[in-house]
Amino acid sequence: MIVGTAGHIDHGKTSLVRRLTGIDTDRLPEEKQRGMTIDLGFAHIELEGVGQVGIVDVPGHERFVRNMVAGATGIDLVLLVIAADDGIMPQTREHLNIIGLLGIASGIVALSKVDLVDAERVAVVTMEIRALLGQTLLASAPIVPVSSESGAGMDTLKRELTRCLSTLRSKSEAWPFWMAVDRAFVVRGFGAVVTGTIASGRVARDATLRLLPGGQTVRVRGIQIHGHPAESAVAGNRCALNLAGVDKESLGRGMVVCDPGLNHVAGTLDAQVTLAPDLAKTPKSHSRVRFHSGTAETMARLQWLEPTAPEPGGSGLAQLRLDSALPLLFGQRYILRDETAQRTIGGGVVLDAFAERRGARLPQRIERLRRLSTLDADESLSVCLEARGADGWLVTELAEQLAEAPQQLEQRFARRGDVLRELVEGTAWIGLRGAVDALLPKLVAATAAHLSDRPRDTAVALATLHAMVCRRLDLRIFRSLLNRLVAAGALELTSDGVRPVGHRQNFSPADIALANRLEELLAHRGKPPPKLEELARETRLPVARVRRFLGELERSGRMVRLTEGVYVTRKDLELWREAAHVCLGLHERMTVAQFRDHVGVGRGLAIMILERFDQEGVTRRIGDARVAATGTHQRAGQ
């Protein structure tokens, strides 16, 4: 588990950690010189009954709140340090706000420097602290008077740490692995190393992970926990990962090392926003803010989604449009600060890291976000399934949407009777059974309606039907549903697409007259067939109309397209096919010239006809000649 410090500058956070653990967390020369914590520091302590506990020491100066936020992410318990001589100070309040906005509900107050004041002052500051905590998640946190100089209260503080940590639940190892990087460096002889606090999941040596942003996959060459080699690490551990397949220049604070099944970075997200209670006024829509999540930071634009924005201390739904896309998960906490980085505005929870900007204020979308804001696992799953309806989800896609492991989702599907699961080409898909059952008759009705409007079509192309009815449904699942309808006798598949059983083309009298005229124009008379432009002139129709109608006649069997823009009648092609059989009976190998002379066509047309016969399996080309395809020569000679 992880303990994180918080509190105003010079209230003794680093001295307290050093007294507890024997480790000086100020590692930078500048920190030593100035006597002030600037960046995150790390230590650990062994607590009886709890085990080894990591400690993250954060800076208290207002200029380094961004580093404080990075350190506070992922901690299980906060150690809020308040000096007895100063009492409550500005960063005491700001850090306390941040702790609450990050949802950290477990903590201890270390009332430090009690050796510098009398008992009356300790009592007064204790009362002030209790009043300050009264409306926060830490209202019942114990307050322990301590002195880093004399060691007074240290044993009591350790007992309280042990008691509080022993009541906390361990983080789940079943969720996908996720670790925000807070340090990246190179160790000579080992290569690139990143450190951080594991927020969820587990990692083992030689595992493959992904770096976000960027998406690069890396291999875990080695693991250390508090400086000691380990074969694996789990949620709640602070660890260092030695990574293979990446150089130091590609790494830095703000990145995430995660399960390779996670690949999304969010540029736009829908979220629940809680404003800081001491905020002077609510920021307006389109305000510029600083967005902090994990160890990452970027500028963003805040847009309220509900008609009325919340008052300070209240919560509301908003869309955040980030300047730089960041790796974010459903349920992840974040902090908002003002554009100048002088004060904390608020924070909240990511509800949809895949949000679209269009339709952000639609009532049904607002209702979905309200349901997601409960963070209830079963409710969130239902919201996502209902939102997609019959379009459903690939299980891997839904797992990333809900920040769960696919195997964990599969277990939950097994307990529900209202879902339909399909496995296509090794890919699992899930959808609401009722919505899928309702989609099937829609596919049949849309097919019939489309062909009713286009009576000369033989079928509806699968891509057309998919786009008309269920464009977001995975194509493999779409084909599976069509196969179900075909098996039930509701539709039939053809080379052109899908159609109701028994459907035939329907030509009007005017269509039949035009077909007859085109057939007359294309009938072979010893010269090349007329091109589309000539047919258009003869029929006084646009070229596109003639081309489309010839395609319809081809599907009806009256015309054949030899190549782009060149059509012949089916009657002529059948005559040339019989002629080819006869010619092949006379010649073991038939040349283009022999076929041309036999049927009385030009060389160009003869070549196109023979290439058509090659495609149909009537002939087979060998060099510059043709032979009968398997069995054809025998049939021609019978």
194-246 per-position pLDDT tens digit:
999 898 899 999 999 999 999 999 999 999 998 889 999 998 888 999 999 88
Looking at the predicted structure, is the pLDDT value of residue 636 above 50? Answer: no
Question: Which pLDDT value is given to residue 634?
Answer: 39
Q: Which of 139-143, 414-418, 514-518 has the highest mean pLDDT?
A: 139-143
Q: Is the pLDDT of residue 499 over 80?
A: yes
Residue 171 has pLDDT above 80, yes or no: no
Structure tokens at 391: 């379009």
- H or E stretch including 275? strand 266-275
- Cα separation of 528 and 531, whole Å? 9
**CA 454 distance to own-chain centroid:** 40
**Phi, psi (degrees; rounded to nearest 5) at 633:** -60, -40
Q: How many CB atoms lie within 10 A of CB 105?
A: 17
- Residue matched to tokens 């906490």: 333
Residue with tokens 């509301």: 316
The token pair that represents 190 in the structure block: 């080992």
CA distance 581 to 210: 63
Cis peptide before 542 (omega within 30 of 0): no
Which residue has 């996720």 as its token pair?
Answer: 178
β-strand partners of 240? 195, 224
Q: How many Cα atoms within 13 Å fall on the side-chain side of residue 482?
A: 24
Here the tokens at position 175 are 């969720």
Most confident region among 187-191, 229-233, 616-620 by mean pLDDT: 229-233
| 37, pLDDT greater than 60 | no
Looking at the chain, how many residues does it have? Answer: 638
- State which amino acid sits at residue 343: R
Distance of alpha carbon 90 from alpha carbon 344, whole angstroms: 11
- Most confident among 264-278, 407-421, 574-588 (mean pLDDT): 264-278
CA distances from 353 to 45, 267, 552, 605, 629 (A): 36, 8, 47, 60, 59
The answer to whether 488 and 527 have CB atoms below 8 angstroms apart is no
- What confidence tier does 189 reach under pLDDT thresholds 50, 70, 90? confident
Q: pTM for the full model?
A: 0.77
State residue 31's pLDDT score.
Answer: 47
pLDDT given at position 2: 87
Q: Which domains does the chain have, with CATH numbers?
A: 2-166 (3.40.50.300), 178-258 (2.40.30.10), 266-371 (2.40.30.10), 518-638 (1.10.10.10)
Q: What is the pLDDT of residues 356-370, one digit of tens each?
A: 999 999 999 999 999
Query: What pLDDT sits at residue 597?
Result: 87
| Count of CB atoms situated within 10 Å of the CB of 569 | 20
What pLDDT does 446 receive?
95
Residue bearing the bigger pLDDT, 612 or 60: 612
pLDDT tens-digit profile of 18-28?
A: 899 888 766 55
Choose among 358, 345, 365: nearest CA to 268: 358
Q: What is the mean pLDDT of the chain?
A: 88
pLDDT of residue 207: 95
Q: What is the mean pLDDT of residues 446-471?
A: 90
Average pLDDT over residues 566-587: 88
Residue 405 neighbours by CB under 8 Å, 6+ apart: 174, 175, 176, 201, 259, 261, 399
Q: Which amino acid is at 637?
A: G
**DSSP secondary structure code for residue 391 in this structure:** G
Cis previous bond, 363, omega within 30: no
Identify which of 65, 119, 87 has the alpha carbon closest to the alpha carbon of residue 11. 87
Q: Which residues contact 212 (CB under 8 A, 6 or more apart)?
A: 255, 256, 258, 262, 263, 265, 327
pLDDT given for residue 38 in this prediction = 54
Q: So what's the pLDDT on residue 29?
A: 59
Residue 536 has pLDDT above 60, yes or no: yes
pLDDT confidence of residue 549: 82
For the chain, what is the total number of helices (H) and then of strands (E)? 20, 31
User: Which tokens in the block code for residue 233?
Assistant: 């690490």
For 491-504, what is the mean pLDDT?
Answer: 86
Classify strands 344-352 and 333-338 as parallel, antiparallel or unpaired.
antiparallel
**Does position 631 have pLDDT exceeding 70, yes or no?**
no
For the segment 66-99, what is each residue's pLDDT rounded down to a tens digit?
676 776 777 889 999 999 999 999 889 988 988 8
- pLDDT-derived band at 65 (thresholds 50, 70, 90) equals low
Can you tell me the distance from the alpha carbon of 596 to that of 610, in angstroms, rounded to the nearest whole number? 10
Residue 400 has pLDDT above 90, yes or no: yes
Up-side HSE of residue 364: CA atoms within 13 Å toward CB? Answer: 6
Average pLDDT of the segment spanning 56-74:
67
> What token pair was written down for 400?
């990333």
